[in-house]
């Protein structure tokens, strides 16, 4: 595809499709169909303060947005969102007056998720583990996806 877009870069899809525009179009349509699952899922989970669901959606959305060439959104913002949500769950559990054995195990598992990440990312997550930062990342995701959707709708209509 010769056309350049601001929010999406379909070079990865074009590479795996070996130039077959119908495959690229189909993959873009699948992503567009998935988008409400992500955006609505974030909004609903945020209302419910369901941190683990937010983390799961961020994890799932990451590979989808990266495949559309939104690398910074996927590899940075969504990864940070996933880790923030997990950290908020740890904080929530640790603040309880009494914690079950299952919840103690959950804390251990969630804290192990941070192993292997660069120290600066872990410090950032711990320093920014608050509702406001989580909301900002979700809002950024929703805004970028809305703009990307316009570009991808154009791709679908021209392929």
pLDDT digits 0-9 by tens, 90-121:
999 999 999 999 999 999 999 999 999 999 99
Q: Nearest Cα to 109, choosing from 52, 53, 45?
A: 52
Rounded to an integer, what distance in angstroms lies between the CA atom of residue 153 and that of residue 85?
A: 31
Average pLDDT, the chain: 96
Q: Does the predicted TM-score (pTM) go above 0.95?
A: no
């Amino acid at each position: 595809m010769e056309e350049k877009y601001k929010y999406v870069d379909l070079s990865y899809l074009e590479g795996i499709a070996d130039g077959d525009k119908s495959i690229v179009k189909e993959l873009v349509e699948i992503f567009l169909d998935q988008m409400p699952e992500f955006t609505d899922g974030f909004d609903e989970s945020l209302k419910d303060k369901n941190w683990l669901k937010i983390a799961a959606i961020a994890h799932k959305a990451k590979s989808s947005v990266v495949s559309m060439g939104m690398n910074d959104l996927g590899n940075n913002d969504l990864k940070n969102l996933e880790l923030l949500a997990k950290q908020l769950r740890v904080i929530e559990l640790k603040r309880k007056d009494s914690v079950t054995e299952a919840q103690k195990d959950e804390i251990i598992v969630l804290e192990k998720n941070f192993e292997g990440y660069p120290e600066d990312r872990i410090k950032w997550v711990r320093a920014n583990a608050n509702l406001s930062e989580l909301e900002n990342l979700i809002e950024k995701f929703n805004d970028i996806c809305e703009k990307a959707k316009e570009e991808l709708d154009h791709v679908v209509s021209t392929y």
